[in-house]
Structure 1
Amino acid sequence: MKITFFTHNTFLLKINNKYLLIDPFFSGNPFFEKKDYIKYINNIKKLDYILITHAHYDHVCDVEFFAKKFHNVLVISNYEIANYFERKGIKTYGINYGSFIFFPFGKLKYVWAAHSSVFSDGTYGGNPGGFLLHTNEGNLYISGDTSLMYEMKIIPNFGPLNISILPIGGRYTMDIEEAIIASNFLKCKKILGVHYNTFQEIQINKNEAKKSFYKKGKELILLELGEFIYI
Structure 2
Amino acid sequence: MKLTFLYHSTYLLEINKYKLIIDPFFYDKKLLYNNIISKYINNKINYILLTHAHYDHVDDVNFFYKKNPDILLISNYEISSFFEKKGIKTYGINYGSFIEFPFGLLKYVIAIHSSSFLNGTYGGNPGGFLLHTKEKNIYLSGDTSVTYDMKLIPKYGKIDLSVLSIGGTYTMGVEDAIIASELLKCDNILGVHYNTFENIKIDKKKSIEMFYNNGKRLILLNTGESINI
TM-score (norm 1): 0.96
Partner of 2:32: 37
AA paired with 1:25?
F
Cα separation, 2, equivalents of 1:36 and 1:183: 31
* Gap runs ≥5 in structure 1: none
Cα separation, 2, equivalents of 1:51 and 1:209: 27
Cα separation, 2, equivalents of 1:48 and 1:120: 26
Partner of 2:134: 136
Identity of aligned residues (%): 62
Partner of 2:17: 17
Instruction: Report matched runs for 1:20-169 at 5 Å.
Output: 20-26=20-26, 29=27, 32=28, 36-39=31-34, 40-41=37-38, 43-44=40-41, 45-169=43-167
Number of paired residues? 226
SS in 1 for 2:158: coil
Question: Contact 1:16 / 1:137 at 8 angstroms: preserved in 2?
Answer: no
Pairwise CA distance, 1:51 = 0.0
Greater Cα offset, 64-73 or 110-119: 64-73
Cα separation, 2, equivalents of 1:100 and 1:23: 20
Pairwise CA distance, 1:68 = 1.5
Instruction: Report matched runs for 1:212-231 at 5 Å.
Output: 212-231=210-229
SS in 2 for 1:184: helix
Residue-by-residue CA offset, 1:47-86 (whole Å, 9 max, x unaligned) = 0000000000000001111111101100000000000000
AA paired with 2:62?
E
Question: Contact 1:46 / 1:70 at 8 angstroms: preserved in 2?
Answer: yes
SS in 2 for 1:43: helix
SS in 2 for 1:209: helix
Cα separation, 2, equivalents of 1:96 and 1:4: 26
Q: Quick one: which of 176, 179, 185 aligns to 2:177?
A: 179
TM-score (norm 2): 0.97
Cα separation, 2, equivalents of 1:191 and 1:6: 16
Question: Contact 1:111 / 1:129 at 8 angstroms: preserved in 2?
Answer: yes
Cα separation, 2, equivalents of 1:37 and 1:80: 27
Partner of 1:2: 2
Cα separation, 1, equivalents of 2:133 and 2:120: 36
SS in 1 for 2:167: coil
Superposition RMSD in Å: 1.1
Cα separation, 1, equivalents of 2:33 and 2:25: 12
* Gap runs ≥5 in structure 2: none
Pairwise CA distance, 1:42 = 5.2
AA paired with 1:224?
N
Pairwise CA distance, 1:170 = 0.3
